[in-house]
Amino acid sequence: MTPDPRPLTIREAGAALREGMLSTITLTESVLARIEATEPAINAYITITAERAREAAARADAELQAGRDRGPLHGIPFALKDLYDTAGIRTTAGSSFLRERIPTENAFVVTKLNDAGIVLTGKLNLHEFAFGTSSLNPHYGDVRNPWDPGRIAGGSSGGCGAAIAAGSCLGTLGTDTGGSIRIPASLCGIVGLMPTYGRVSRRGVLPLSWTLDHVGPLARTVEDAALILNTIAGHDPEDPGSADLPTSDYTSELDRGLAGVRVGVPRDPFWLQCRDDVAAACEGALETLQELGATLVTVALPLEAAAGRLSIIWTEAAAYHHERLREAPKRFGADVRTALEGGRAIPAVNYINDQRLRRKLIEEASAVLREVDVLVSPTTPATAPPLRVGDPQRLMARYTFRYDVTGIPALSLPCGFDANGLPIGLMIGARHFDEVTLCRVAHAYEQATDWHTQQPAL
């Protein structure tokens, strides 16, 4: 009997594979069946690699049966945001320009995942060139939210969030420049982890903003996200932004509990203009953290109010796309073209001053995090808007963008539902390169609640 993959976590699936209760081929067929059942209604995938997945599953079964265990991701059906170079498989970036682009090499982290034995099921839909928060894509169709297909899945990693929520893969990698991992995680009711800037190599991942781009996992649980991070973290000397620092086992303190943990609550600016039901759910999460032994501390980040005005994404994106914008502007979707043209018009002095302000923001956040262990706030100020509305003025990135600017690791996980049954996300941030504590706090909250166990009816 083919299992339903939706309730399975990576940890559970891996245990079943090793105990002989499940084969990789059976697990892969169950995920491919979910893809067939949910596509194109959800439109999470741009490219489905079913036959490659079956071949990889057969190899994984043979290796596991022969006693070769590559680790926790061995035999796990996995998908990638379509920004990651995959040798022999097209990588479009959700754009018309790259529709037929087939890389000859894998991105650095894709090589790591392949070495870990993943079964690649395909490449996932996104906001064009990752420059947006709705994943409304004029070239490949809009990504739809599995909780309500009439609503957005968030962006830019919308296909990642939708695929995990729909059960059409067990793990995935997204990218985050202004919130693009955590926004879909929040709106789709899953876990999205943006590691510290430099923790994970970006080589072979199409850029949006060199200063702010992060690579990270989306999955059903905090533990699953930590397992993926274990696989992809590490120094890459060919990525100039990669940090030459030791990595950790990000699952090592998941069960340590919260005794002695100091939770900073940055109500200004991270809780301003937040919808009442979102605020109430996140207040409830703070109470749960306190019941688990954490101490709540109100903290202030006065400079953070300026983060939303920084021009860094727009100017760097305009620089990267300069030739395309000059030669074929009408091939961009209207929203992306408008954003790029706006970035092109920003004076260099503004960009330089914004980079200086960014350094001050990093110093401010680091100072606050010397007094507390983590920061907690809503991930997004509202739940998923209707498709016809999209994300007006990038409302969904109001809180998330601040972490990209400072490079601090941050995670979103579910903490409730609104009256329409749409997920609400809780965001937790930690000190630079302290993903161990980040995962510890998030896991403690997750295990004390049942939000992560609920699934869309799709």
One of 134, 180, 209, 242 is an active-site residue; which one?
Answer: 180
Tell the residue number behind the tokens 């601090």, with chain if given.
Answer: 408
Is 112 one of the annotated active-site residues of the chain? no
Is the Cβ–Cβ distance between 131 and 178 less than 8 Å?
no
Catalytic annotation, pick one of 23, 81, 95, 242? 81
Long-range contacts of 393-396, Cβ-Cβ distance < 8 Å, separation of 24 or more: 394/132, 394/133, 394/178, 396/133, 396/134, 396/154, 396/179, 396/183, 396/186, 396/187
CA–CA separation, 96 and 217 (whole Å): 26
Please count the residues of the chain. Answer: 458
Neighbours of 11 (CB within 10 A): 18
Q: Does residue 370 contact residue 299 with C-beta atoms inside 8 Å?
A: no
Exposure on the CB side of residue 201, measured as CA atoms within 13 A: 22
Q: Which two tokens stand for residue 198?
A: 């430099």
Catalytic residue among 23, 156, 209, 377: 156
Beta strands in 60-108 (DSSP E): 77-81
**Closest to 443 (Cα-Cα) out of 284, 258, 269:** 258
Tokens 């594979």 locate to: 17
* 243 CA to centre of own chain: 20
204 three-state secondary structure? coil
Has 330 been annotated as catalytic?
Answer: no
81 catalytic? Reply is yes
My answer on whether omega of the bond before 186 falls inside 30° of 0, hence cis, is no
- Which residues have a catalytic role annotated? 81, 156, 180
